[in-house]
Amino acid sequence: MKQLAILCLAASLAFAQDAQQKGKRLIDEAIAALGGEKFLNVQNRVELGRAYSFFQQNLSGLSVAHFYTQYVPVDASKTATALAQQEHQAFSKDEEFFNVFREEGGWEVTYRGPKPLEKDQIVRHHDSLMHNIFYILRNRLKEPGMIFEAKAGQVLDNVPVNVVDVIDSTNRVVTVYLHQTTKLPVQQAWTWRDPQTRERNDEVTRFSRYRDVDGTQWPYQTHRERNGLKIYEMFADTVLINQDLDERRFLVPGPDTRPLKNTWKDVKLGKK
């Protein structure tokens, strides 16, 4: 009986090891499909498009969106908690009003000046980023304790996909669905609980309309649902990488801050 238990345990360990080896291989294939070393070494990304927000399936907001993302170096031992990127998100045509997210927090900037975002907004942004498969692949691969575990394949929207659970040392779990032919991520899913009500929330994001961006692949359409209800969509018109962005774009403006030297128009014209 004892020998049987030992054999079962050995078989279970071997199965888990095989699942992790396969999961790592699938993740490596996804990185290669996204551009390999070029994807891993992207320094910044800028996106222009249209962002839609929804409440109870009804359109509640529409705006021109200008997203600027700057990757910053973080020691691999700290990437489970520290942010490895900073963001500037402008939701108006003239980019007059925007949000800035940094490791230290988040701010809303209007004509009245900068105002710290509510704590729950910052926490939600941080959690969403830590569970984002592109952020994980770009910034968290070498993090201690990171596990990639292959699951049974599925058919998603009539497309065969490989499924991998990404599990970090803090027990965050993201399930990513990879197109069996292109190897690109087509969906991710994760679960979180409201800190006040403890209600479970199932977050699902779909990625589509991939296009080549200077040797890397990037989805031009993002669709997000929470508990089966659509909450957000982004349609990109233009995406650029490795631009010569003014560092002040990612700072919280102060009374002595000079105007930025480059706007979206400059970036769009390809100034480097």
Model pLDDT, residue 219: 98
- The C-alpha atoms of residue 32 and residue 10 are separated, in whole angstroms, by 33
- The C-alpha atoms of residue 91 and residue 38 are separated, in whole angstroms, by 29
pLDDT at 264 over 70: no
Amino acid at 52: Y
- pLDDT per residue as tens digits for the range 24-56: 999 999 999 999 999 999 999 999 999 998 876
Q: How far from chain centre, in Å, is Cα 138?
A: 9
Model pLDDT, residue 10: 44
Mean local confidence (pLDDT), 140-164:
95
Q: Lowest mean pLDDT: which of 89-93, 246-250, 265-269?
A: 265-269
| pLDDT classification of 2: cutoffs 50, 70, 90 | low
Model pLDDT, residue 256: 56
249 against 93, higher pLDDT: 249
- The C-alpha atoms of residue 31 and residue 24 are separated, in whole angstroms, by 11
pLDDT at 227 over 90: yes
pLDDT at 166 over 50: yes
| C-alpha torsion sign, points 211, 231, 187, 135 | positive
The pTM (predicted TM-score) of the whole model is: 0.88
